[in-house]
Amino acid sequence: MKRRPLIAGNWKMHTTTAEARDLATAIAGTCVGVDDRDVLLSPPYTVLRDVAECVGRTGIIVAAQNVCWEEKGAYTGEISPVMVRAAGGSAAIVGHSERRQIFLENDEMVNRRLTGALAFGLTVILCIGETLAERESGDTFAVLERQIRKGLAGVGGEAMAGVVIAYEPVWAIGTGKTASKEQAQEAHAFIRGLLAAIYEKDIAEQTRILYGGSVKPANIDEIMAQPDIDGALVGGAALDAQSFGRIITFR
């Protein structure tokens, strides 16, 4: 089954307003004529509106880097799915390893964020991935299974149309160390098999699974050649329009 590729840029805590506008405009320029794949930009909350404005009607998806489950209320420091939409966004990342490791978000909280965002009509990218210690102790698949089962708790098959999974081995994030194509494909195939077991084969076949972790112009082509890899979630290289443009136009 052919899944539409998705190349996503996670800008993390980078870009002032002026920088974000310049970067989004330059990236939009590299996407002209690209219509067989989806492109998503996830800037800081403060510039969601600016990025949405700069990408205009190019079809580029704008996503928040995290999101709360409630529409509004006493949740200092959070933003709601309704606010994301009002700012021009239509998606959100949840469960990024930096949220899990630095801000101590656990699977239950990731699940609340995910289900809340889906309920308000956002597309959600659920990030999962093992640490180096977990890989070295042979726990990779157990960790991925726990993150998927808990992260997707309560999500029915129909709602999976709004879910994208991103496999990001923590040891490959920002380290310059990419998982080998075999390691990445093995993890993606495992995740797809698990989705087939939880839901059904069709849903597993339709769900896009992105790879993230030191994706660069130099490795995107071989990553995208793997049968179960449907796109990339890019950090560092997404902050440079030329590099990200090359990643978007993978062959």
Q: At what angle do helices 107-119 and 140-151 cross, to 10 degrees?
A: 40
* 173: Cβ contacts below 8 Å, ≥ 6 apart: 97, 98, 129, 212, 213, 214, 235
The first and second tokens of residue 188, run together, are: 């993606």
Footprint (CB under 6 A) of ligand G3P, residues 92-131: 96
Residue 182 annotated as catalytic: no
How many residues are given for the chain?
A: 251
- Closest Cα partner for 199 from 165, 233, 230, 225? 165
Residue type, 207: T
Among the listed residues 30, 115, 214, 219, the single contact to ligand G3P using CB under 6 A: 214
164, 220, 229, 233 from 211: Cα distances, Å: 11, 10, 7, 6
Contact pattern from residue 167 through residue 206 relative to ligand G3P, giving x for each residue in contact according to CB under 6 A and a dash for the rest: -x----xx--------------------------------
Least Å from the CB of residue 178 to ligand G3P: 8
212 binds ligand G3P, rule: CB under 6 A: yes
Q: Answer whether 5's CB lies under 8 Å from 231's CB.
A: yes
Among the listed residues 51, 236, 241, 248, the single contact to ligand G3P using CB under 6 A: 236
Which lies closer to ligand G3P via its Cβ, residue 42 or residue 80? 42
CA distance 250 to 213: 16
Among the listed residues 61, 122, 233, 247, the single contact to ligand G3P using CB under 6 A: 233
Which lies closer to ligand G3P via its Cβ, residue 199 or residue 224? 224
Among the listed residues 6, 124, 234, 241, the single contact to ligand G3P using CB under 6 A: 234
Tell me, what DSSP letter sits at residue 13? Answer: S
Which lies closer to ligand G3P via its Cβ, residue 147 or residue 199? 147
89 known member of a binding site? no
Least Å from the CB of residue 10 to ligand G3P: 4
Q: Measured at CB, which residue is nearest to ligand G3P?
A: 235
> Of the listed 96, 105, 134, 188, which one is catalytic?
96
Among the listed residues 99, 213, 220, 248, the single contact to ligand G3P using CB under 6 A: 213
56, 76, 143, 178, 179 from 169: Cα distances, Å: 33, 30, 11, 9, 7
- Closest Cα partner for 105 from 153, 139, 59, 151? 151
Residue 105 annotated as catalytic: no
63 binds ligand G3P, rule: CB under 6 A: no
Q: Which residues are annotated as a binding site for substrate?
A: 10-12, 174, 214, 235-236
Binding positions for ligand G3P, rule: CB under 6 A: 10, 96, 168, 173-174, 212-215, 233-237
Question: Active-site residues: which are they?
Answer: 96, 168
